[in-house]
Amino acid sequence: MADTLTITDNRTGKQYDIPIKDGAIRATDLKQIKNGTEDTGLITYDPAFMSTASCRSRITFIDGDKGILEYRGYPIEQLAEHSTYLETAYLILFGELPTDAQLKEWTKQIMLHTMLHENIKKLMEGFQYDAHPMGVFLSTVGAFSTFYPDAKQIFDEQSRKKQIHRLIAKVPTIAAYAFRHSIGRPYVYPDNDLSFAGNFLNMLFKMTELKYQVNPVLERALEILFILHADHEQNCSTSAMRGIGSSHVDPYSAMAGAAAALYGPLHGGANEAVLRMLNEIGSVQNIPGFIKRVKAGEGRLMGFGHRVYKSYDPRAKIIKRTADQVFAVTGRNPLLDIALELERIALEDEYFVSRKLYPNVDFYSGLIYQAMGFPVTMFPVLFAIPRTSGWIAQWEEMLLDPEQKIARPRQLYIGAKRREYVALEKRS
């Protein structure tokens, strides 16, 4: 017998058998539950989508209680150990690891599209010298839709593929230009002889030398960080990408919205907030006082807690290891001692233990980025570069899913009942 949920409506005495599939009931199956002919049917109320699946997806699997993260079935630990960002992006987008020939062709296509239109450069020059690079990033991604009107052909597979190549290839260039703009240095054109991460470092940090020498430890660390951030199923920015994309707008416009969602301090801005917090704490002696304030509800321990992970975020473990390798090259980040001590205390403290608050991906990533020479304002941009592959994979999956329609949640109206307009002079 198929799994069902039997609901008795006490208002009418009627019983309903609602099918359960893949551990879920369809909210629309509740519509048949009506209290009288005027009733349009029962709906569910779920602010912040705490308990509502909005899609079927084959891309990323997370078991938050067990601390498991897999892309297309491959554990994140194995990908971080053996893969590169471009290979992982291919996996996320196309569902399988590429063959040697496929990887070469994919890499060639991506590296072919790393340059930006010169007018994009002019557009970026229009920003204030102190513009936040994430604001520059999301505006520039949105502006792309005007440069590539062919991107409107969202149901043309070849056109979609082209936008995928462009987006993955160009986001590091936009990010690097935004960074160079913020420090008043000339933009560096891509060097396609280098790897994806190596070229990014080149566009960020090259000075007058003819050929930028990539440090292999930093290059690998960046690849790992990119792999870890490539996708994370239906998070805030991905839901934004799917939600905006469901109106059938072009992927650049949808991705500008996704990047805007990532900008927020509760999402991609969290590692920036972690560093600010560590700087504010200032020294290990101040930690007990800080923890006390957090427990009293006067602020949060940034980089701790996650909507899905109720155990140690698997990405945080990998990042912690990577941090040691990076610090061996760059020198130890002095804020690391504060972070380690905060983590030690929080993992023993009843407040954090009972709420299952563990370090998330952002707790250590900011320390690495800072040691590599990035200002904190670049952190969300560094997140957006690899997340581009996840966003567009999820966008394409949404477009090709025959069950999807324009996203349009319901509401429970609790405002004023109908009333008559009052002329201005009669209002008290």
Binders of ligand ACO among 401-420, rule CB under 6 A? none
Of residues 106, 94, 405, 138, the one with CA closest to residue 252:
138
The answer for 212, left when phi > 0, alpha when psi is -120 to 50, beta otherwise, is beta
Q: Report the residue number, 231 or 362, with the smaller CB distance to ligand ACO.
A: 362
Question: Minimum distance between the CB of residue 232 and ligand ACO, rounded to whole angstroms?
Answer: 7
Which of 121, 165, 300, 317 is in the footprint of ligand ACO by CB under 6 A? 300
Q: Which is nearer to ligand ACO, 163 or 237 (CB)?
A: 237
Among all residues, which ones are annotated catalytic?
267, 306, 362
Q: Among residue numbers 342 through 361, which ones bind ligand ACO (CB under 6 A)? A: 355, 357, 360-361
Q: Does 266 bind ligand ACO (CB under 6 A)?
A: yes
Which run of H or E residues covers position 8?
A: strand 4-8
Kindly tell me which residue out of 144, 196, 226, 304 binds ligand ACO, with binding defined by CB under 6 A. 304
Q: Which helix (H) or strand (E) holds 271?
A: helix 270-281
Which of 343, 362, 396, 397: binder of ligand ACO (CB under 6 A)? Answer: 362
Neighbouring C-beta atoms of residue 342, cutoff 10 Å: 25
DSSP-derived secondary structure for 176-238: HHHHHHHTTPPP----TTS-HHHHHHHHHH--S-SS----HHHHHHHHHHHHHTS--SS-HHH
Q: Should residue 291 be labelled a site residue for ligand ACO when binding is judged by CB under 6 A? A: no
Kindly give the interhelix angle for 216-228 and 362-371, rounded to the nearest 10 degrees: 150
- Report the nearest approach of ligand ACO to the CB of residue 299 (Å): 8
Site stretch for ligand ACO (CB under 6 A), options 30-38, 83-91, 293-301, 384-392: 293-301
Residue nearest to ligand ACO (CB): 305
DSSP class of residue 133 equals H
Q: What angle do CA 176, 178, 183 make, to 5 degrees?
A: 95
Stretch that binds ligand ACO, among 73-81, 265-273, 282-290, 332-340 (CB under 6 A): 265-273
In the complex with ligand ACO, the residue whose CB is nearer, 188 or 357, is 357
Choosing from 142, 305, 366, 386, the residue that interacts with ligand ACO (CB under 6 A) is 305
Q: How far is the CB of 268 from ligand ACO (least distance, A)?
A: 6
Question: Could you give the CA distance from residue 238 to residue 290 in angstroms, rounded to a whole number?
Answer: 33
Instruction: Give the H or E element holding residue 383.
Output: helix 379-399
Contacting ligand ACO (CB under 6 A), which of 194, 301, 382, 392? 301
**Neighbouring residues of 131: CB distance < 8 A, sequence distance ≥ 6:** 178, 181, 182
Q: Rule CB under 6 A: is residue 387 a binding residue for ligand ACO?
A: no
Binding interface with ligand ACO (CB under 6 A): 266-267, 270, 294, 300-307, 355, 357, 360-362
